Amino acid sequence: MTGSDQPRRRQPAEGMDLLTLDLASAEQLVRDLGWPRYHAQQILRWVYRKRVREIGAMTDLSKSQRSRLAAIAWIGRTDTSDILHSEDGTSKFLLRLQDGLIVETVLIPDSGRLTLCLSSQVGCTFDCGFCLTGRMGLKRNLKAHEIVEQVLTVQDHLEPGQRVTNLVLMGMGEPLANLDAVGQAVTCLTNATWGLGFPARRMTLSTAGLAPRLREVAALGVNLAVSLNATTNAQRDALMPAVNRLHPLEDLMAACRDYPLPPRRRLTFEYVLLAGVNDREQDARRLAKLLNGIRCKVNLIPFNEFPGSAFRRPDDTEVLRFQSVLRQAGFDAFIRKSMGRDVLGACGQLGSLPGRPAAVAFTPVGAAT
Ligand code: SAH
């Protein structure tokens, strides 16, 4: 549903947003209403599992209960402002938040998987030179329910029988700079009693490298990906200045080595390949040395261009050569397919700049390959 066929939106001032509830606060709400406790889980089920947008649809509450609840509460679902469909099946959803800001979330079908890439901020805390989101600056942190809501909205648009198989916090923003909200969202997404019941082992959080906070990801039970992207401080300072000045490479690597990896899990290191900058054989060798002894895999991401980007995507032969150095050193190294480039839906392409709305279509160099 878009535009004029939306039901009138209630304003936040009109009461409590039921999407902000967890089990404890839902139980408090029904206690305040003088209702039996089991209504708390009923309400949460309607909101998170059945994804209703109106309290009137909660048909296992009596009519009078529904109208009492509707007098004090509402369901703050976003409007879908636009959906851009890529030739490769990827869809980029532009969701309009209550304050009018737009957040982007990307649904990526690939080899039997359906991965949803969630945003944690509008814009980003950091300024990595190869990422469009960084150029927006930070507009604001998302609230927990605004992260969860991205999942609900995309689920509303799935074909019958389609199911999201993987969730990745790799969209706009730096999740560890908004860890409280991200943690609450993960709880809601994974809790099988009252939340969405999504398995934590199928969720991955990606960080630009907030070394002191890595451990807190382990406590959430989700997988951790670290965007390394460089193998020396000089290189990392040039590419990811803000985060590397806060947490230089040696601190980041120490935190990775100390990370309490659960059995049978491994860390993921992401490495954006920028032609002539960090894609040489010596970079690959230094990367192998840096990761030596860490239980991990490496995801190589050939640079995705965006309008005005200063870097170039390496040729496939360079990418394969980089991969083979890592493989020869004994690492599992994968090349991430770039999905959704034509709708600016691939890694590093999310965001809007003044005069260039997020909904722009884009023909990247070499898009046909
Ligand atoms: N802030 C988090 C999550 C968002 S970026 C992080 O830095 O990890 C998700 C991934 O996309 C990161 O690995 C990042 O290095 C990569 N990336 C950013 N811009 C890119 C671009 N233009 N092309 C390819 N990958 C990019």
- 108-141 pLDDT, tens digit per residue, is 999 899 999 999 999 999 999 999 999 999 999 9
Domains and CATH numbers, the chain: 3-74 (1.10.150.530), 81-367 (3.20.20.70)
Asked whether the predicted pLDDT for residue 3 surpasses 80, the reply is: no
- Which of 116, 115, 137, 109 is CA-nearest to residue 125? 137
Protein residue with its CA nearest to atom 4 in ligand 1: 170
Rounded Cα–Cα distance for residues 361 and 85 (Å): 10
How confident is the model over 169-177, as a mean pLDDT? 98
Protein residue with its CA nearest to atom 14 in ligand 1: 227
Which one of 105, 120, 130, 274 would you pick to mutate in the ligand 1 pocket, going by the greatest count of ligand atoms within 8 A of its CB?
A: 130
How many angstroms is it from 262 CA to the middle of ligand 1? 25
- Say what the pLDDT of residue 351 is: 87
Contacts of 264 (CB under 8 A, 6+ apart): none
Protein residue with its CA nearest to atom 24 in ligand 1: 303
| Single pTM value for the model | 0.93
How confident is the model over 327-345, as a mean pLDDT? 94
Which one of 120, 125, 131 would you pick to mutate in the ligand 1 pocket, going by the greatest count of ligand atoms within 8 A of its CB?
A: 131
Rounded Cα–Cα distance for residues 78 and 95 (Å): 6
Protein residue with its CA nearest to atom 9 in ligand 1: 170
How many angstroms is it from 131 CA to the middle of ligand 1? 6
Active site residues: 104, 347
Ligand 1 close to Cβ of residue 182 (< 6 A): no
Q: What is the dihedral sign for C-alpha 257, 261, 266, 267?
A: negative
How many angstroms is it from 100 CA to the middle of ligand 1? 25
Percent of the chain whose predicted confidence (pLDDT) is above 90:
86
- 29-43 pLDDT, tens digit per residue, is 999 999 999 999 999
